[in-house]
Chains A and B, each alone.
Chain A
Amino acid sequence: MKTDRLTIAGTAYASRLIVGTGKYPTFEVMRRAIEASGAVLVTVAVRRVDLARRDGESLLDHLDLETLKLLPNTAGCYTADEAVRTARLAREAGLSDLIKLEVIGDEKTLFPDTEGLLQATRTLVKEGFTVLPYTNDDLVVAKRLRDAGAAAVMPLASPIGSGLGIQNALNLRFILEEIRDIPVIVDAGVGTPSDAAVVLEMGADGVLMNTGIAGAGDPVKMARAMRLAVEAGRLAAESGRIPRKLHASASSPIDGLLR
């Protein structure tokens, strides 16, 4: 068990924290926040080049691709077909088989359409993609995704961008108990470092976040806080916490007390 290594499909990444590149006030703040987070995997979205409005600045000018690895997503896709199409374009643009697969089923909650997700996972696995599906905190779906060849499962803690933290710890616990052969990466809902620490303490292999860092008052400082929380949570998971007890148990010896 390597504290600071997240292994996905045989490749080890030097951080258990995966961060997004959206919603930053400037590219420079994003660059510094990613650096402070220690993340090596960074998510990106695939969009049409806006030919009417181009200022010459591109996201990739601000990402150090010597040290970072791009994880393109299929955000905004509402059908398996759209997601597969976007994944194929992402592979061509990024020359990598990694894909964070999203098939959204509801606009308000951005909850996944798990039926479409499974369908797209099967198609993309067949085409040689390393598929990391963003999914519900549903054990049965997680098992099906694993059986369909997903390289990891990425259940949500709470809705994307909500910052609500873990809303259903029991469901995550069931997934973590059962899915042992591929990484479980909690994706979405982390609002503050304690959320991330708890995720790792529960035994998750990693955590993925965007808004929790990018939307903070000081994204660079928050990125460092998240990094420390992920490291702390992982170390705690490996350490074996004490059992909870109802009553006190003195830390100082009773022998030798002055009477």
Chain B
Amino acid sequence: MNFNPLQSVWIAYQSSQSCFKITERVINRAVQDKLVVKTIFYQQPETQAHSFLQLGKAESEDLFVLAVWATFERFLRSYLQTKAEKLRDLYPPALASSFYQQLYRELEFWKPDDMLDLLKSILPGSNLIGQAKQILEYRDWVAHGKNPENHPSANITPKFAYNTLTEIVQLIQLN
């Protein structure tokens, strides 16, 4: 079984969601409780404390999509850089080395959209790449301040983003 780099991001997300639940239970019992000392919830009216927590939960969902995308994108660049190592075997060797170094560096700046298009050839007939592009669009929308006049094409839940990108990672690892 290959290592899935996205799994730790998903566990981090589940962990933060669990922390939110525990905090909700604490607030429900007593905002003044010692458990919330030195936190934003201390001595807040209960409704205000819940409202703060709701804000945090909603934001963490969008930030998870950002984080899982970033981890996926890093995986993709590293995968392509590894594939480019074959260039080192080209003749003449002096050219091969600099050719490889140049491509390795430039891969850091390739557009995510273009990298996804490259993957179409190894994922034929799949709509995974289309879904990944919608995750990218959502990621860009979040990263650029969630413009209310320009919504992304589709809604992205943390679980569906994780499902889709994990599936692509696993299919890539088979190649």
Q: A and B from one assembly? A: no
Residues of A within 8 A of B (CB): none
